């Protein structure tokens, strides 16, 4: 097994305690990871605090160059990172539609480079003989980041590169289920940035609580479940930290009767099953008009029967669910749906083999009040629900505490756009879903989060406003 260490103030730090990292495809221990204490958190925050004045004063062009250098270095180690990601997360190297660990590495590089080129220009409110009023964006200080297990490296980059770009320093804690790729990336990043600018600690949820409540951290960024997000929001209140929370989603899609099923079904399947359904913005509730309901269900089931699930190091479309608690949650939701009388067109049974494998599952004739519809399964399962009236479908789609993304599918773009504008979601798509990009803001409404990521809007969330009034007369 490879050795892994915390990185604090540019130095590798060993700990007395450790915890196992499990390969979800084999249930075998692939590494032991250092278990940080609250004292290590204090050391990491103190290092980030010391590094902040110099990093925030670093010329803008040098921070841009640093982010490009980070992207280049990660790319040079891309094969190693991709293999490590597959081992700890489970996603295939290639995967369905090429969206495996290699795709995550590619997305990591793209976001890093796009973030490097973002600008925060001075906004001039007034400039005349009397006065000049300027609005400046200033870095906040130390940013705390807590990342999830579904996209360990890409989301770490989403959190930390805007922080570095805007002049902040970082303390990051990856999920205890998938810490290895982020630890290795942190080693690479620390070869480029000054000591203390990028610090990493690893451990369980108690460590996350120590970070979110720390009085010397100025902002928290978290991607994960809504219950944990609420706890972070509460603990961040101690010093009124800024927060960005990207939380759970239970995205709905409405398919109108004029939709070409043969064209739409493969796209719907891909956006529902991206990363084995373990994606916050994946399509998770599909409402289909009665005129094409059976045709759509049959088309989706046909695709599901054609794909393969297995260990990610092989030539397969989908890997395992990442961890046992999530695996058991999926099984529980499926069993409840079966008991309610839902029809399982494919899947629905975990194979009798090692690993947290669950087949791609398409479910029809399912009631709205079933937990598989009301809650986010975060697994390879898609419930398909029938509607006859589009206003009813819209009400059902919006009748959920989550509001991350949503979509409308139709050949009538104008009609689809009008309906999409009425979805209670942070992002709405027409004839697509889960299509995010580094220059477009992304975030949720209702209980799917606070704030946005990506582009200029996301970068601004790592800054405070300072208004300068310059009197000339």
C-alpha distances out from residue 272 to 64, 71, 392, Å: 35, 29, 22
Is 280 marked active-site? yes
Its pTM stands at 0.97
3-state secondary structure of 323: coil
- The structure tokens listed for 376 are 């986010």
CATH number of 251-437: 3.40.309.10
Nearest to residue 152, comparing CAs of 241, 86, 59?
86
Domains of the chain, residue spans: 6-247+447-471, 251-437
Question: How, if at all, do strands 28-34 and 18-23 pair?
Answer: antiparallel
**Could you say which of 246, 453, 460, 461 is catalytic?**
246
Is 246 marked active-site? yes
- Which residue, chain included where needed, has tokens 């490097």? 116
- The structure tokens listed for 90 are 């489970």
Q: How far apart are the first and last CA of the chain?
A: 70
pLDDT tens per residue across all 473 residues of the chain: 678 999 999 999 999 999 999 999 999 999 999 999 999 999 999 999 999 999 999 999 999 999 999 999 999 999 999 999 999 999 999 999 999 999 999 999 999 999 999 999 999 999 999 999 999 999 999 999 999 999 999 999 999 999 999 999 999 999 999 999 999 999 999 999 999 999 999 999 899 999 999 999 999 999 999 999 999 999 999 999 999 999 999 999 999 999 999 999 999 999 999 999 999 999 999 999 999 999 999 999 999 999 999 999 999 999 999 999 999 999 999 999 999 999 999 999 999 999 999 999 999 999 999 999 999 999 999 999 999 999 999 999 999 999 999 999 999 999 999 999 999 999 999 999 999 999 999 999 999 999 999 999 999 999 999 999 999 97
**Could you say which of 280, 297, 311, 376 is catalytic?**
280
The single-letter DSSP state of residue 121 is P
- Which residue, chain included where needed, has tokens 């590094």? 51
Q: What fold is seen in the domain 6-247+447-471?
A: Aldehyde Dehydrogenase; Chain A, domain 1 (3.40.605)
């Amino acid at each position: 097994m490879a050795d892994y260490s915390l990185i604090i103030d540019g130095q590798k730090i060993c700990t007395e305690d450790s915890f196992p990292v499990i390969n979800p495809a084999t249930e075998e221990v692939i590494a032991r990871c250092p278990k940080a204490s609250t004292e290590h958190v204090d050391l990491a925050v103190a290092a980030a605090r010391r590094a902040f004045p110099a990093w925030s004063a670093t010329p803008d062009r040098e921070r841009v160059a640093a982010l490009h250098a980070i992207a280049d270095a990660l790319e040079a180690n891309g094969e190693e990172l991709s293999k490590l990601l597959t081992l700890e997360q489970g996603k295939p190297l290639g995967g369905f539609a090429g969206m495996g660990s290699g795709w995550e590495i590619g997305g990591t590089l793209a976001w890093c480079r796009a973030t490097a080129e973002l600008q925060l220009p001075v906004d001039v409110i007034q400039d005349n003989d009397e006065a000049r009023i300027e609005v400046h964006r200033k870095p906040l200080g130390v940013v705390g980041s807590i990342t999830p297990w579904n996209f360990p490296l890409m989301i770490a980059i989403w959190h930390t590169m805007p922080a570095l770009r805007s002049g902040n320093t970082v303390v990051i804690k990856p999920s205890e289920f998938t810490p290895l790729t982020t630890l290795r990336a942190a080693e690479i990043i620390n070869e480029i940035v000054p000591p203390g600018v990028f610090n990493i600690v690893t451990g369980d949820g108690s460590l996350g609580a120590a970070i979110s409540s720390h009085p010397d951290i100025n902002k928290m960024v978290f991607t994960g479940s809504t219950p944990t997000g609420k706890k972070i929001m509460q603990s961040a209140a101690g010093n009124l930290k800024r927060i960005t929370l990207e939380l759970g989603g239970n995205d709905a899609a409405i398919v109108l009767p004029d939709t070409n099923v043969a064209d739409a079904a493969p796209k719907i399947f891909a956006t529902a099953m991206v990363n084995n359904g373990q994606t916050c913005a994946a399509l998770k509730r599909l409402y289909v008009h009665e005129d094409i309901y059976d045709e759509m269900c049959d088309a989706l089931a046909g695709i599901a029967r054609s794909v393969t699930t297995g260990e990610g190091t092989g030539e397969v479309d989908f890997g395992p669910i990442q961890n046992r608690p999530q695996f058991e949650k999926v099984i529980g939701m499926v069993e409840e749906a079966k008991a309610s009388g839902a029809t399982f067109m494919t899947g629905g049974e975990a194979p009798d083999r090692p690993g947290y494998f669950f087949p791609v599952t398409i479910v029809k004739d399912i009631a709205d009040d079933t937990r598989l519809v009301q809650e986010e399964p975060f697994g390879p399962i898609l419930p398909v629900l029938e509607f006859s009236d589009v206003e009813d479908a819209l009400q059902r789609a919006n009748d959920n505490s989550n509001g991350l993304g949503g979509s409308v599918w139709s050949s009538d773009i104008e009609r689809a756009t009008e309906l999409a504008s009425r979805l209670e979601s942070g992002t709405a798509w027409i004839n697509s879903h889960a299509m995010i990009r580094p220059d477009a803001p992304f975030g949720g409404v209702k209980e799917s989060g606070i704030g946005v990521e990506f582009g200029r809007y996301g970068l601004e969330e790592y800054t405070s406003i300072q208004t300068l009034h310059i009197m000339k007369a």
